[in-house]
Structure 1
Protein backbone atom coordinates (compact mmCIF):
# COMPACT_ATOMS: atom_id res chain seq x y z
CA UNK A 1 0.00 0.00 0.00
CA UNK A 2 1.56 3.28 -1.16
CA UNK A 3 1.95 5.90 1.52
CA UNK A 4 1.94 3.53 4.51
CA UNK A 5 5.65 4.10 5.21
CA UNK A 6 5.13 7.86 5.03
CA UNK A 7 2.23 7.84 7.48
CA UNK A 8 3.94 5.52 9.95
CA UNK A 9 7.20 7.46 9.79
CA UNK A 10 5.63 10.88 10.22
CA UNK A 11 3.38 9.72 13.06
CA UNK A 12 6.44 8.34 14.86
CA UNK A 13 8.31 11.61 14.24
CA UNK A 14 5.30 13.53 15.58
CA UNK A 15 5.32 11.42 18.75
CA UNK A 16 9.06 12.04 19.16
CA UNK A 17 8.77 15.82 18.75
CA UNK A 18 5.66 16.07 20.93
CA UNK A 19 6.58 13.81 23.85
CA UNK A 20 10.36 13.34 23.76
CA UNK A 21 11.85 16.65 22.60
CA UNK A 22 12.63 19.14 25.34
CA UNK A 23 9.89 21.71 25.86
CA UNK A 24 12.57 24.39 26.00
CA UNK A 25 13.75 23.51 22.49
CA UNK A 26 12.61 26.38 20.22
CA UNK A 27 12.32 24.02 17.23
CA UNK A 28 9.93 21.61 18.96
CA UNK A 29 6.70 23.39 17.99
CA UNK A 30 8.01 24.16 14.50
CA UNK A 31 8.81 20.53 13.74
CA UNK A 32 5.52 19.30 15.22
CA UNK A 33 3.45 21.71 13.10
CA UNK A 34 5.36 20.82 9.92
CA UNK A 35 4.86 17.09 10.51
CA UNK A 36 1.13 17.46 11.19
CA UNK A 37 0.57 19.71 8.17
CA UNK A 38 2.47 17.24 5.99
CA UNK A 39 0.17 14.41 7.12
CA UNK A 40 -2.97 16.50 6.61
CA UNK A 41 -1.98 17.79 3.16
CA UNK A 42 -0.73 14.44 1.84
CA UNK A 43 -4.18 13.40 0.62
CA UNK A 44 -4.79 16.56 -1.42
CA UNK A 45 -3.58 17.54 -4.88
CA UNK A 46 -4.13 20.34 -7.39
CA UNK A 47 -3.66 20.73 -11.13
CA UNK A 48 -1.07 23.30 -12.11
CA UNK A 49 -0.26 23.99 -15.78
CA UNK A 50 -1.74 20.65 -16.72
CA UNK A 51 0.26 18.73 -14.09
CA UNK A 52 -1.12 17.07 -10.99
CA UNK A 53 0.81 18.29 -7.95
CA UNK A 54 0.32 17.10 -4.38
CA UNK A 55 -0.26 19.92 -1.91
CA UNK A 56 2.22 18.45 0.56
CA UNK A 57 5.03 18.67 -2.00
CA UNK A 58 4.24 22.37 -2.54
CA UNK A 59 4.22 22.87 1.23
CA UNK A 60 7.59 21.12 1.70
CA UNK A 61 9.11 22.92 -1.29
CA UNK A 62 7.97 26.27 0.11
CA UNK A 63 9.62 25.45 3.45
CA UNK A 64 12.81 24.38 1.66
CA UNK A 65 12.91 27.63 -0.32
CA UNK A 66 12.42 29.55 2.92
CA UNK A 67 15.40 27.81 4.52
CA UNK A 68 17.55 28.24 1.40
CA UNK A 69 16.69 31.95 1.37
CA UNK A 70 18.30 32.31 4.80
CA UNK A 71 21.64 30.98 3.51
CA UNK A 72 24.32 33.34 2.29
CA UNK A 73 27.20 33.42 -0.16
CA UNK A 74 29.18 30.23 -0.61
CA UNK A 75 26.86 28.28 1.64
CA UNK A 76 23.89 28.95 -0.63
CA UNK A 77 25.92 28.33 -3.80
CA UNK A 78 27.16 24.98 -2.49
CA UNK A 79 23.69 24.00 -1.36
CA UNK A 80 22.16 24.79 -4.75
CA UNK A 81 24.88 22.85 -6.57
CA UNK A 82 24.40 19.77 -4.39
CA UNK A 83 20.62 20.04 -4.73
CA UNK A 84 21.03 20.21 -8.52
CA UNK A 85 23.09 17.01 -8.38
CA UNK A 86 20.39 15.33 -6.29
CA UNK A 87 17.76 16.53 -8.75
CA UNK A 88 19.66 14.95 -11.65
CA UNK A 89 20.18 11.74 -9.69
CA UNK A 90 16.50 11.57 -8.84
CA UNK A 91 15.38 12.16 -12.43
CA UNK A 92 17.94 9.70 -13.80
CA UNK A 93 16.83 6.97 -11.41
CA UNK A 94 13.21 7.47 -12.43
CA UNK A 95 14.03 7.34 -16.14
CA UNK A 96 16.18 4.22 -15.72
CA UNK A 97 13.32 2.60 -13.83
CA UNK A 98 10.90 3.50 -16.61
CA UNK A 99 12.98 2.33 -19.57
CA UNK A 100 14.94 -0.54 -17.99
CA UNK A 101 13.22 -1.82 -14.82
CA UNK A 102 15.10 -5.14 -14.94
CA UNK A 103 18.06 -3.73 -12.98
CA UNK A 104 15.85 -3.07 -9.95
CA UNK A 105 16.73 -6.34 -8.25
CA UNK A 106 15.63 -5.19 -4.78
CA UNK A 107 12.68 -3.19 -3.48
CA UNK A 108 12.44 -0.04 -5.59
CA UNK A 109 11.69 2.39 -2.76
CA UNK A 110 14.54 1.16 -0.58
CA UNK A 111 17.06 1.19 -3.43
CA UNK A 112 15.99 4.71 -4.33
CA UNK A 113 16.17 5.89 -0.71
CA UNK A 114 19.62 4.38 -0.12
CA UNK A 115 21.03 6.09 -3.23
CA UNK A 116 19.59 9.48 -2.25
CA UNK A 117 20.68 9.11 1.36
CA UNK A 118 24.23 8.12 0.44
CA UNK A 119 24.62 11.09 -1.90
CA UNK A 120 23.14 13.51 0.63
CA UNK A 121 25.37 12.30 3.46
CA UNK A 122 28.45 12.56 1.28
CA UNK A 123 27.68 16.17 0.32
CA UNK A 124 26.46 17.61 3.65
CA UNK A 125 27.60 17.26 7.25
CA UNK A 126 24.74 18.92 9.14
CA UNK A 127 21.57 16.87 9.72
CA UNK A 128 19.27 19.80 8.99
CA UNK A 129 20.96 20.61 5.68
CA UNK A 130 20.90 16.95 4.71
CA UNK A 131 17.13 16.78 5.14
CA UNK A 132 16.51 20.11 3.39
CA UNK A 133 18.80 19.19 0.47
CA UNK A 134 17.05 15.82 0.14
CA UNK A 135 13.61 17.43 -0.03
CA UNK A 136 14.72 20.31 -2.24
CA UNK A 137 16.54 18.13 -4.78
CA UNK A 138 13.95 15.33 -4.81
CA UNK A 139 10.92 17.55 -5.41
CA UNK A 140 12.69 19.35 -8.24
CA UNK A 141 13.64 15.95 -9.62
CA UNK A 142 9.95 14.98 -9.50
CA UNK A 143 9.07 18.14 -11.42
CA UNK A 144 11.70 17.51 -14.09
CA UNK A 145 10.64 13.87 -14.46
CA UNK A 146 6.97 14.83 -14.76
CA UNK A 147 7.75 17.52 -17.36
CA UNK A 148 9.81 15.07 -19.44
CA UNK A 149 7.00 12.52 -19.50
CA UNK A 150 4.42 15.22 -20.17
CA UNK A 151 6.11 15.79 -23.53
CA UNK A 152 5.14 12.20 -24.40
CA UNK A 153 1.58 12.72 -23.09
CA UNK A 154 2.25 10.65 -19.99
CA UNK A 155 0.85 12.30 -16.87
CA UNK A 156 2.78 11.50 -13.70
CA UNK A 157 1.66 13.16 -10.44
CA UNK A 158 4.29 15.24 -8.65
CA UNK A 159 4.72 14.27 -5.01
CA UNK A 160 2.73 11.04 -5.03
CA UNK A 161 2.44 8.77 -2.00
CA UNK A 162 5.17 6.58 -3.46
CA UNK A 163 7.42 9.64 -3.58
CA UNK A 164 6.57 10.39 0.06
CA UNK A 165 7.48 6.81 1.00
CA UNK A 166 10.94 7.25 -0.54
CA UNK A 167 11.44 10.58 1.22
CA UNK A 168 10.33 9.06 4.55
CA UNK A 169 12.77 6.16 4.26
CA UNK A 170 15.55 8.56 3.27
CA UNK A 171 14.86 10.88 6.22
CA UNK A 172 14.91 7.91 8.61
CA UNK A 173 18.21 6.69 7.16
CA UNK A 174 19.72 10.19 7.44
CA UNK A 175 18.60 10.54 11.07
CA UNK A 176 19.90 7.05 11.90
CA UNK A 177 23.28 7.72 10.28
CA UNK A 178 23.57 11.14 11.92
CA UNK A 179 22.79 9.55 15.28
CA UNK A 180 25.48 6.94 14.65
CA UNK A 181 27.97 9.71 13.83
CA UNK A 182 27.18 11.47 17.12
CA UNK A 183 27.56 8.27 19.12
CA UNK A 184 30.88 7.57 17.40
CA UNK A 185 32.06 11.10 18.14
CA UNK A 186 31.07 10.77 21.82
CA UNK A 187 32.80 7.40 22.07
CA UNK A 188 35.99 8.77 20.48
CA UNK A 189 35.91 11.74 22.87
CA UNK A 190 35.48 9.39 25.84
CA UNK A 191 38.38 7.20 24.69
CA UNK A 192 40.54 10.30 24.18
CA UNK A 193 39.81 11.51 27.71
CA UNK A 194 40.69 8.08 29.14
CA UNK A 195 43.97 7.97 27.24
CA UNK A 196 44.73 11.53 28.28
CA UNK A 197 44.08 10.62 31.92
CA UNK A 198 46.33 7.57 31.70
CA UNK A 199 49.07 9.70 30.14
CA UNK A 200 48.97 12.10 33.06
CA UNK A 201 49.10 9.27 35.60
CA UNK A 202 52.14 7.73 33.93
Structure 2
Protein backbone atom coordinates (compact mmCIF):
# COMPACT_ATOMS: atom_id res chain seq x y z
CA UNK A 1 0.00 0.00 0.00
CA UNK A 2 1.18 3.49 -0.80
CA UNK A 3 3.10 2.62 -3.96
CA UNK A 4 1.06 4.84 -6.28
CA UNK A 5 0.92 7.67 -3.78
CA UNK A 6 4.68 7.85 -3.26
CA UNK A 7 5.36 7.34 -6.96
CA UNK A 8 3.08 10.25 -7.92
CA UNK A 9 4.44 12.51 -5.19
CA UNK A 10 8.04 11.96 -6.30
CA UNK A 11 6.98 12.54 -9.89
CA UNK A 12 5.45 15.86 -8.83
CA UNK A 13 8.64 16.85 -7.00
CA UNK A 14 10.70 16.12 -10.12
CA UNK A 15 8.32 18.05 -12.40
CA UNK A 16 8.23 21.06 -10.07
CA UNK A 17 12.01 21.10 -9.70
CA UNK A 18 12.94 20.74 -13.37
CA UNK A 19 10.02 22.29 -15.26
CA UNK A 20 8.78 25.20 -13.14
CA UNK A 21 10.25 28.72 -13.12
CA UNK A 22 13.47 28.47 -11.09
CA UNK A 23 13.28 32.16 -10.18
CA UNK A 24 9.81 31.87 -8.68
CA UNK A 25 9.41 31.67 -4.91
CA UNK A 26 6.26 29.57 -5.42
CA UNK A 27 8.46 26.80 -6.81
CA UNK A 28 10.32 26.48 -3.52
CA UNK A 29 7.07 26.58 -1.54
CA UNK A 30 5.54 23.76 -3.57
CA UNK A 31 8.65 21.60 -3.21
CA UNK A 32 8.58 22.11 0.57
CA UNK A 33 4.86 21.23 0.67
CA UNK A 34 5.46 18.10 -1.43
CA UNK A 35 8.24 16.90 0.87
CA UNK A 36 6.08 17.69 3.91
CA UNK A 37 3.30 15.51 2.49
CA UNK A 38 5.78 12.68 1.82
CA UNK A 39 7.05 12.83 5.39
CA UNK A 40 3.64 13.25 7.06
CA UNK A 41 2.20 10.32 5.10
CA UNK A 42 3.90 8.08 7.65
CA UNK A 43 2.42 9.93 10.64
CA UNK A 44 -1.01 9.01 11.98
CA UNK A 45 -2.54 10.63 15.04
CA UNK A 46 -5.42 9.21 17.13
CA UNK A 47 -8.63 11.21 17.14
CA UNK A 48 -11.86 10.11 18.86
CA UNK A 49 -11.14 6.41 18.43
CA UNK A 50 -9.85 6.48 14.86
CA UNK A 51 -6.65 7.57 13.15
CA UNK A 52 -5.98 10.57 10.92
CA UNK A 53 -3.12 10.62 8.47
CA UNK A 54 -1.50 14.07 8.60
CA UNK A 55 -0.70 14.01 4.89
CA UNK A 56 -4.42 13.81 4.11
CA UNK A 57 -5.05 16.90 6.22
CA UNK A 58 -2.41 18.85 4.30
CA UNK A 59 -3.79 17.69 0.95
CA UNK A 60 -7.34 18.70 1.97
CA UNK A 61 -6.08 22.06 3.24
CA UNK A 62 -4.45 22.75 -0.13
CA UNK A 63 -7.72 21.85 -1.85
CA UNK A 64 -9.81 24.16 0.35
CA UNK A 65 -7.29 26.98 -0.02
CA UNK A 66 -7.29 26.63 -3.81
CA UNK A 67 -11.08 26.63 -4.06
CA UNK A 68 -11.37 29.74 -1.88
CA UNK A 69 -8.68 31.47 -3.91
CA UNK A 70 -10.54 30.77 -7.16
CA UNK A 71 -13.71 32.40 -5.79
CA UNK A 72 -16.82 33.45 -7.71
CA UNK A 73 -19.00 30.97 -9.56
CA UNK A 74 -16.11 28.52 -9.80
CA UNK A 75 -16.03 28.36 -5.99
CA UNK A 76 -19.73 27.46 -5.80
CA UNK A 77 -19.38 24.87 -8.55
CA UNK A 78 -16.28 23.43 -6.91
CA UNK A 79 -17.93 22.99 -3.53
CA UNK A 80 -21.03 21.49 -5.17
CA UNK A 81 -18.91 18.90 -6.97
CA UNK A 82 -16.94 18.20 -3.78
CA UNK A 83 -20.14 17.50 -1.85
CA UNK A 84 -21.38 15.25 -4.66
CA UNK A 85 -18.14 13.28 -4.74
CA UNK A 86 -17.94 13.13 -0.94
CA UNK A 87 -21.42 11.59 -0.82
CA UNK A 88 -20.43 9.15 -3.59
CA UNK A 89 -17.25 8.16 -1.77
CA UNK A 90 -19.12 7.67 1.50
CA UNK A 91 -21.72 5.56 -0.30
CA UNK A 92 -19.04 3.41 -1.94
CA UNK A 93 -17.39 2.78 1.42
CA UNK A 94 -20.79 1.90 2.92
CA UNK A 95 -21.58 -0.59 0.14
CA UNK A 96 -18.16 -2.25 0.22
CA UNK A 97 -18.27 -2.37 4.02
CA UNK A 98 -21.68 -4.06 4.26
CA UNK A 99 -22.39 -5.75 0.90
CA UNK A 100 -19.11 -6.15 -1.02
CA UNK A 101 -20.40 -9.29 -2.73
CA UNK A 102 -22.73 -7.16 -4.91
CA UNK A 103 -19.90 -5.14 -6.44
CA UNK A 104 -18.24 -6.37 -9.62
CA UNK A 105 -15.05 -4.36 -9.16
CA UNK A 106 -12.81 -3.48 -6.24
CA UNK A 107 -13.42 -0.25 -4.35
CA UNK A 108 -10.18 1.11 -5.82
CA UNK A 109 -11.32 0.55 -9.41
CA UNK A 110 -14.84 1.87 -8.80
CA UNK A 111 -13.66 4.97 -6.95
CA UNK A 112 -10.97 5.94 -9.46
CA UNK A 113 -13.27 5.38 -12.45
CA UNK A 114 -16.31 7.24 -11.05
CA UNK A 115 -14.33 10.13 -9.57
CA UNK A 116 -12.35 10.62 -12.76
CA UNK A 117 -15.47 10.56 -14.92
CA UNK A 118 -17.37 13.09 -12.80
CA UNK A 119 -14.42 15.45 -12.41
CA UNK A 120 -13.68 15.41 -16.15
CA UNK A 121 -17.32 15.96 -17.13
CA UNK A 122 -18.21 18.64 -14.56
CA UNK A 123 -14.92 20.29 -13.64
CA UNK A 124 -14.14 23.14 -16.01
CA UNK A 125 -10.43 23.54 -15.36
CA UNK A 126 -7.61 21.34 -14.14
CA UNK A 127 -7.23 23.54 -11.04
CA UNK A 128 -10.87 23.01 -10.03
CA UNK A 129 -10.65 19.30 -10.78
CA UNK A 130 -7.56 18.70 -8.64
CA UNK A 131 -8.76 20.95 -5.79
CA UNK A 132 -12.15 19.22 -5.65
CA UNK A 133 -10.46 15.82 -5.74
CA UNK A 134 -8.27 16.73 -2.77
CA UNK A 135 -11.24 17.90 -0.72
CA UNK A 136 -13.70 15.15 -1.64
CA UNK A 137 -11.67 12.20 -0.40
CA UNK A 138 -11.17 13.87 2.97
CA UNK A 139 -14.85 14.81 3.38
CA UNK A 140 -16.07 11.40 2.25
CA UNK A 141 -13.88 9.55 4.73
CA UNK A 142 -14.93 11.84 7.58
CA UNK A 143 -18.60 11.32 6.71
CA UNK A 144 -18.31 7.53 6.65
CA UNK A 145 -16.26 7.45 9.86
CA UNK A 146 -18.81 9.66 11.58
CA UNK A 147 -21.57 7.29 10.41
CA UNK A 148 -19.78 4.30 11.94
CA UNK A 149 -19.31 6.14 15.24
CA UNK A 150 -22.96 7.24 15.38
CA UNK A 151 -24.18 3.71 14.70
CA UNK A 152 -22.00 2.31 17.48
CA UNK A 153 -19.69 0.21 15.34
CA UNK A 154 -16.23 -0.23 16.78
CA UNK A 155 -13.79 -0.51 13.90
CA UNK A 156 -10.23 0.60 13.45
CA UNK A 157 -10.20 3.15 10.64
CA UNK A 158 -7.61 5.62 9.47
CA UNK A 159 -8.67 8.69 7.53
CA UNK A 160 -6.12 8.97 4.76
CA UNK A 161 -4.76 5.43 4.94
CA UNK A 162 -2.37 4.36 2.18
CA UNK A 163 -5.19 2.49 0.48
CA UNK A 164 -7.10 5.74 -0.01
CA UNK A 165 -3.98 7.77 -0.75
CA UNK A 166 -3.28 5.34 -3.59
CA UNK A 167 -6.79 5.87 -4.94
CA UNK A 168 -6.32 9.63 -4.65
CA UNK A 169 -3.03 9.43 -6.54
CA UNK A 170 -4.44 7.26 -9.33
CA UNK A 171 -7.44 9.55 -9.80
CA UNK A 172 -5.06 12.51 -9.88
CA UNK A 173 -3.08 10.85 -12.67
CA UNK A 174 -6.20 10.13 -14.74
CA UNK A 175 -7.61 13.65 -14.31
CA UNK A 176 -4.27 15.33 -14.97
CA UNK A 177 -3.64 13.12 -18.00
CA UNK A 178 -7.03 13.95 -19.49
CA UNK A 179 -6.52 17.67 -18.80
CA UNK A 180 -3.18 17.52 -20.64
CA UNK A 181 -4.91 15.85 -23.60
CA UNK A 182 -7.50 18.66 -23.62
CA UNK A 183 -4.73 21.27 -23.50
CA UNK A 184 -2.84 19.59 -26.35
CA UNK A 185 -6.02 19.35 -28.45
CA UNK A 186 -6.72 23.06 -27.93
CA UNK A 187 -3.09 23.93 -28.80
CA UNK A 188 -3.20 21.76 -31.92
CA UNK A 189 -6.50 23.32 -32.97
CA UNK A 190 -4.98 26.78 -32.59
CA UNK A 191 -2.00 25.77 -34.72
CA UNK A 192 -4.21 24.33 -37.46
CA UNK A 193 -6.38 27.46 -37.56
CA UNK A 194 -3.29 29.67 -37.64
CA UNK A 195 -1.73 27.71 -40.49
CA UNK A 196 -4.82 28.37 -42.60
CA UNK A 197 -5.10 31.98 -41.47
CA UNK A 198 -8.44 31.34 -39.77
CA UNK A 199 -9.28 32.61 -36.29
CA UNK A 200 -10.96 30.27 -33.78
CA UNK A 201 -14.69 30.84 -33.19
CA UNK A 202 -14.11 32.65 -29.89
CA UNK A 203 -11.68 35.12 -31.41
CA UNK A 204 -13.91 35.72 -34.46
CA UNK A 205 -16.73 36.82 -32.16
CA UNK A 206 -14.42 39.15 -30.23
CA UNK A 207 -13.14 40.73 -33.42
CA UNK A 208 -16.58 41.05 -35.03
TM-score by length of 2: 0.85
Matched, 1:44 2:19: no
For 2:180, the equivalent position in structure 1 comes to 179
For 2:83, the equivalent position in structure 1 comes to 84
C-alpha spacing 1:102/1:87, structure 2 compared with 1 (3 Å): same
For 1:99, the equivalent position in structure 2 comes to 98
For 2:156, the equivalent position in structure 1 comes to 155
C-alpha spacing 1:16/1:104, structure 2 compared with 1 (3 Å): farther
Mean Cα deviation higher: 40-49 or 105-114? 105-114
Structure-2 separation of matches of 1:101 and 1:76: 35
Q: State the secondary structure of the residue aligned to 1:196.
A: coil
- Residues 149-171 of structure 1, C-alpha deviation per residue, up to 9 Å, x if partnerless? 22322232111000100010011
- Residues 133-192 of structure 1, C-alpha deviation per residue, up to 9 Å, x if partnerless? 001111000101111122322232111000100010011111111110011011111221
C-alpha spacing 1:55/1:15, structure 2 compared with 1 (3 Å): same
- Residues 44-80 of structure 1, C-alpha deviation per residue, up to 9 Å, x if partnerless? 1111222211111122222223233334343322221
> How far did 1:122 drift?
1.6
Mean Cα deviation higher: 86-95 or 104-113? 104-113
RMSD: 1.9
Preserved CA contact (<8 Å) 1:149 1:155: no
For 1:69, the equivalent position in structure 2 comes to 68
Preserved CA contact (<8 Å) 1:38 1:59: yes
Q: State the secondary structure of the residue aligned to 1:70.
A: helix
For 2:202, the equivalent position in structure 1 comes to none
C-alpha spacing 1:16/1:154, structure 2 compared with 1 (3 Å): same
Preserved CA contact (<8 Å) 1:45 1:52: yes
Aligned length: 196
Unaligned regions of 5+ residues in structure 2, if any?
A: 199-208
Preserved CA contact (<8 Å) 1:113 1:169: yes
